[in-house]
Amino acid sequence: MVQVKQLGELPPLHKQKYTYLILGGGSIGVALARELTKSRKDFIIVDADPARVEALREQDYEAIEGDIGSYRVLEKLPIKGVEGIFILSSSHAANVKALEYVKSHTPAPFVMARAVDLLTIDELYRAGADIVLHPPTIVADEALNELQKMELHGASWQLMSYIKSLDAGQRVGIVVHDNPDSDAFASALCLRTMAESLGRSADILYYGMIGHHETRAFVNLLDIPLVHIANGVLDKYPVIALVDCNTPGKNNSLPPNTRVNIVIDHHPLPEGAGLNADFVDIRPEVGAASTMMARYVQELDFELSSHLATALLYGIRTDTNEFRRNTSAADLNAAAYLYGFVDKDLLSQIETPSMSPEAMDVLGVAIRNKKIEGSYLISNVGFIHDRDTLPQAADYLLKLEGISTVLVFGISEERIVISARSKDIRINIGDVIQKAFGEIGSAGGHQKTAAAQIPLGVFSGVKDRAILMKLTEEAVTRRFLGAVGMEGQAE
């Protein structure tokens, strides 16, 4: 029988040096010890149960008996010079005492502490833990992760089976949301590529305009074929897919009664909405539609070109704001998978598109003509040829100190063209622009970006340009400030 020595019987122990200390030799501690052994790391386990310590030593682990809730034991721990300490006992009081002792007696190695229930997590963080481990939560998260993998595997094969079942002559129209961004186009490009790999034809369709200069560079550099939706265009497509949006007429200009066959989106369904599509995959837990498409490709072991990988990675980065917004483990895993396939030079060109001379001129006019109401900035840039210069100006003005929301507008092709940006968490700028201009034109967007186009209507008969600009400015400003609840300022 192996003799178990107690910590108090080992005076030389504090002179020995270990890379890691495991305080608590239960199932979690043993699992950790097993992994450290595989990595050839040196460590020692401390546990209060003599029988458990004996069992650990019989498995060739270096283990000693000691109650980590006792200062007499804590004082003998060889904590000096260790890289990491794992406090994993089943006693919350003992874990807190050990954590506080470690943090007050050593130049702070990495410390992981176990929470015995959800209510104790915050206390352990306050006591100085770098990571708090709650085993039931970890088990639940892992189970959910495995469930999602199974669902994704099934969804990817169902999607390909459905596309394959279509008649060869049935052309698929892939519709993205109005005024689409890089995530929408990348996702649609992936679906188009998958369809064509099965011998089915598909086109990417969109309403509105391509507003952001980086999105324009994205489309041009990747040579993405697009079809702008006009009257009669949809009649050519017996199969309709919605990508990065999920309901006809919501965030897209499809007629609300449009029959949709495929829906792939990461936004939740509008409240009360229902779908009657042949294939539906909606995953609000992920940050980008491109993540879903990348995972399809990965599950199917689909041949991935550098162009498609570059598009999907940029789509993920765009919609998650470089992984700072609504980012899940799925987004990070998809990005890691794609990164090995991307064209780094092409990605760099997309990220740093040049600014045209007209864009520079419009920006200058926007700065000179800016009007500020509280944290709102409105600027009238006059007559323009390239309406895509407006989003660039709006992006720049949003960086000004004290500004939370920007609206820039001008006149192009007998229309008032509007671009809006916001970093105010209290409002959804897409909803604001829809409320302000949806009844008199085409309007919409997202939480932080939006756009609108309004026919000049009765103003088209005004020949004096100065008067026309003054009239449109008064109308746009009044409607916008009214929509954000500043009616008094619009007088």
The tokens for 465 are 């340009």
Out of 333, 350, 367, a domain closes at 350
Contact between 218 and 182 (Cβ < 8 Å): yes
Out of 133, 166, 198, a domain closes at 133
- One domain, residues 375 and 334: no
Contact between 165 and 198 (Cβ < 8 Å): no
In this prediction, residue 196 carries a pLDDT of 95
d(CA 430, CA 422): 9
**pLDDT tens-place string over residues 136-153:** 666 555 555 555 666 777
Whether 86 maps to a domain, the answer reads: yes
Exposure on the CB side of residue 311, measured as CA atoms within 13 A: 29
Which residue carries 């090995």 as its tokens?
A: 340
Q: Is 450 helix (H, G, I), strand (E, B) or coil?
A: strand
- One domain, residues 122 and 151: no
- One domain, residues 70 and 182: no
- One domain, residues 434 and 323: no
pTM assigned to the model:
0.55
Which residue carries 């929509």 as its tokens?
A: 483
When divided into structural domains, the chain yields a total of 3
Task: Give me the domain span that covers residue 210.
Answer: 146-350
Whether 155 maps to a domain, the answer reads: yes
Amino acid at 388: D
Higher-confidence position of 466 and 139 = 466
d(CA 407, CA 451): 9
2-11, 83-92, 259-268, 301-310: least confidently modelled range: 2-11
211-225, 290-304, 471-485: least confidently modelled range: 211-225
In this prediction, residue 200 carries a pLDDT of 96
**CATH number for the domain including 272?**
3.90.1640.10
In this prediction, residue 97 carries a pLDDT of 93
- One domain, residues 229 and 334: yes
| Residue 108 pLDDT greater than 80, yes or no | no
User: How many other CB atoms are there within 10 angstroms of residue 485's CB atom?
Assistant: 10
d(CA 113, CA 96): 8
- One domain, residues 255 and 276: yes
Residue from 424, 452, 425 nearest 438 by CA = 452
Whether 138 maps to a domain, the answer reads: no
Q: Which CA distances in Å does 151 have to 210, 247, 283, 354? A: 33, 22, 11, 42
Going by pLDDT thresholds of 50, 70 and 90, the confidence category of residue 8 is very low
Out of 89, 110, 133, a domain closes at 133
In this prediction, residue 184 carries a pLDDT of 96
- One domain, residues 45 and 121: yes
- One domain, residues 330 and 215: yes
Whether 304 maps to a domain, the answer reads: yes
Going by pLDDT thresholds of 50, 70 and 90, the confidence category of residue 7 is very low
Whether 409 maps to a domain, the answer reads: yes
Contact between 360 and 389 (Cβ < 8 Å): no
Q: What does the chain come to in residues?
A: 491
- One domain, residues 167 and 301: yes
Higher-confidence position of 270 and 479 = 479
Pairing of strands 20-23, 43-47: parallel
| Residue 111 pLDDT greater than 50, yes or no | yes
